[in-house]
Amino acid sequence: MCWLVVNALLGVGMQVVAEAVALGSPMDLPRDLLFDTLAKTAVVAPAHIGKLAGLRAIKLLPTTSLLPYSAR
């Protein structure tokens, strides 16, 4: 039961990281600066530090849409 709580908190923490990246991208913040700053904050759990490196490696094109075609 305790693992369910821990996993839920880690999931919510990763959602916070995704929201921060989504907010910083339209502001034309440099991605490296954004990820470095997020990694140093208390909001990002130590378990997510490695995931930030993986997210940094992903380069999305400005035309990339995450929405299904029918939702556009």
- Taking the C-alpha atoms of residue 14 and residue 31, their distance in angstroms, rounded to an integer, is 17
List of residues 6+ apart from 53 with CB closer than 8 A: 35
pLDDT > 80? residue 27: yes
pTM: 0.61
What was the pLDDT predicted at 43?
77
Using one digit for the tens of pLDDT, what is the confidence trace for 28-72?
888 888 888 888 888 788 888 888 888 777 766 555 556 665 555
